[in-house]
Structures are given as structure tokens and as C-alpha cells.
Amino acid sequence: MGTVPLAFCSAVYGLGVRLRLGAYATSIFRGKTLPGFVVSVGNLTAGGTGKTPAVVMLAQWAVGQGRRVAVLSRGYGSQGHQDILEVSDGKGRYADVRMAGDEPSLIARAVPDTPVIIARNRHRAGIYAYKRFGSDFFILDDGFQHLQLKRDFNLVLADAMDPFGNSHLLPWGPLREPVTQLGRADAFILTRFSRGQNLNGGVSGIKRKIGQEGLDGVAPAEKMLTFLKKRFPSTPVFHADHCPDKVVFPATGKAHDPGFLKKKGVVAFAGIAHPEYFKELLVALGVDVIRFRGFRDHCVFTRKDLEDMIQVKEAAGAHYLLTTEKDWMRIEPFAPGHANLAYLTIRFSLLPGQDGLFRVIRDGLKE
């Protein structure tokens, strides 16, 4: 599709977004409430900021605080048609990954004592979790735009390398809402912050937002910090990285530290929002990436896709075939017991001195 049709579609989409936002702002539409504390983890763009590991981090923290946590998801990529789907009951029972989708399934397994519920109507999902599990701390996965449900804390993630893309709304650009809507946030987290401190990186959209002056020679992450402090000075900003955690071999049940992969030859693939990030992460670990293939986000893999990748690995003489944990969720139902097939888990890690985020949330819980 050419630029003019995209711009037109973007303008129509933007009109719809503004009408919807206005309807909630003027109480024509009213958000519903849940009997507990509601935290939304979301972003302004269509994918790519690492919300799933952030939800896991937040859920683990809340469980550690003694809260009865439930994660409420819209279940993008799920094939279930139920009004409400219980992905996890918090006691070790899980829905089929093909029914639940990759991200809810990943969250459910990462926080096994936390119920994960899918529903388009997340108020209904929250009431279900409250009645069935006694939940009193609700995490909305990808909830920034879900205005139908009121929240006590809006946590917004932005990629420190490329927060706004070309600064256009969908489908011309990646923005779901105008940048001004960041004013609804109670806190920001700049993800991949260490990567964004690289002067060789580039950030789309920020220069046209805050002007060219003073930005040359400044790392992308610092440009984004400047923008947020100028436009939203009262909103705290925290920094985080996506850190490789474990290399897991499902066929053998073995897990290794990421350093295990150093100087090993691998064929890798990823079906995430920015597949190239996975390749760059492997290179940074010192992995010899012999072949790499990127798929679209939430790609529905087939058995043949996996068999083809295994053949590429064998032909290349690589040690391992490697993918992301999110992609493993999608291929697990039909994956063969291939001893050299592994996935890499990612930990969402706040940088040192950034634990003030939890203090801000705790303060909200006391109100």
C-alpha cells in the first residue's frame, strides 16, 4: 500500500481513536471497576517493548508482597472461543497453548502460582478471578488502551531505541494513540535501556517531537529521557533491560546459563515483533549465529517450518537450533524430541537504583 492510502487510513483510524478517547473523557463511556488494585502494563505502539517479561516481573513481585494476583489478558493469538478462558488456575493446571496463545501461556508458566485469565471483557475476567481465586491484585497485560476497565496504576513501556517509530498512527506507523496520551501514565519504563545508550543507535520520531537542537551526539535513550522529562515532568521514569536468563533444552530438561552458548555455532529463528533484537542479543553473548530467520510476530508455526529449520541446522553443521521462549510456546505441541533444540528465556531486569517503581506502586496500594 502506498504512502497516500496509508496516510488516509491513518487519519481515519486517528479520528476513531480521538472520538473514543473523548467519549471516555466526557463520561459518555464509563470504565468499570474491580474489587482490588488494578495495574495496567502497556505501551503506545503495536508490540515490541517487552510487555510479557514486564508482566512476569510485576506478578512475581506482587506475589512476594503477599497479594493474591491475577493476570488478565485479551489473549492475542489464542484460538479459544470461550467467553472466559482459564489459562492457568495457579495450581499447575494449564490450558492448551493453541487455545490460550503464546504470551498468556508463557506468563502462566513463569508465575505458576498466579491465575491467568483470558477474556475480551477484562472486567468480566477480573470478577471471575475475584470470585474463583479471591484475587485482589489485577495485572492487565497490554492494558493501556483498554479504557473499559478503570485502573489504579498505568505503567507504560517504551523502547529506548525506537519509542515512536515514524510517529504516525496505525497503519501508516506503529502508534495506537497520539503521543499526547502518554499523559495518562503513572510511570514509564524505558526498556532495552543499556542498548539505547549506544551512540550508534538511532531513534525515529524523537527529533521531530522535541526538535533537533541539542540532540546530536546524544544516545537514543538520553533523547527519550529528555522528551519525557520535558513533556511529562511529574511522571517518574525507570530504566530496564531484557537480560538473557537460561538456555533450556526441552528434550533433556537441562538448563544452562547463557554463557553456555559462547562460541557455539547456532541456527536461530524468532517470530516476535523485532526478530533482529534476538539475533543481536545472541551476537552480544558471543554466539556464532550461522543462520538466522525472522518470522512475523505471533507467527503460527507448522510442523514443516520446524522440520525445515532442523534441516538447515544439520546442513550448516551448527551445534544447536535456538529460538525464543515465546516461540517455543507455539512449537511445543508438535516439537520432536530433538536433543539440540533449545530456547532462551529472558528476564526483565530493572537497572540498579530503579526499584523505586515498586515503592510507587506500594504507595498506591496504601491509599
Query: Do 331 and 224 share a domain, yes or no?
Result: no
Q: Are residues 182 and 277 in the same domain?
A: no
**283 domain residue, yes or no:** yes
User: Are 158 and 146 a contacting pair, CB within 8 Å?
Assistant: no
CA triplet 302, 305, 309: central angle to 5 degrees?
Answer: 150
Assigned domain for 13 exists? no
Read off the CATH number of the domain in which 356 is found. 3.40.50.300
78 with 113: CB under 8 angstroms?
no
Straight-line distance from the first to the last Cα atom of the chain, in angstroms, rounded to the nearest whole number: 50
231, 111: one domain: yes
Is 319 a domain residue? yes
Together in a domain, 149 and 271: no
Find, among 77, 260, 111, 273, the residue nearest to 192 by Cα: 273
- 356 and 343, same structural domain? no
- Residue-level pLDDT at 203: 46
* pTM of model > 0.85: yes
Q: Do the beta carbons of residue 68 and residue 88 sit within 8 Å? A: no
Low-confidence residues of the chain: pLDDT under 70: 1, 76-82, 199-217, 367
Residues 292 and 216 reside in one and the same domain:
no
Does 72 fall in a domain? yes
In terms of residue numbers, what domain contains 140?
Answer: 29-239+351-366
Please report the pLDDT score of residue 353 as a whole number.
81
- Residues 224 and 158 sit within 8 Å (Cβ to Cβ): yes
The CATH number for 277's domain is 3.40.50
- 255 and 201 share one domain: no
pLDDT digits (tens, 9 = 90+) for 253-310: 999 999 999 999 999 999 998 999 999 999 999 999 999 999 999 899 999 999 999 9
Residues 271 and 220 in one domain: no
**Does 8 reside within a domain?**
no
pLDDT at 336: 84
pLDDT at residue 200, rounded to an integer: 59
pLDDT of amino acid 339: 94
Same domain, 74 and 85: yes
Q: Are residues 68 and 52 in the same domain?
A: yes
Asked whether residue 18 is domain-assigned, the answer is no
Q: What is the pLDDT of residue 213?
A: 42
pLDDT of residue 215: 53
Question: Of 150, 61, 149, 59, whose CA–CA distance to 108 is shortest?
Answer: 59
Domain assignment present for 252: yes
The answer to whether residues 85 and 185 belong to one domain is yes
Domains identified in the chain, total number: 2
Query: 205 and 312 in one domain?
Result: no
Do the domain assignments include residue 36? yes
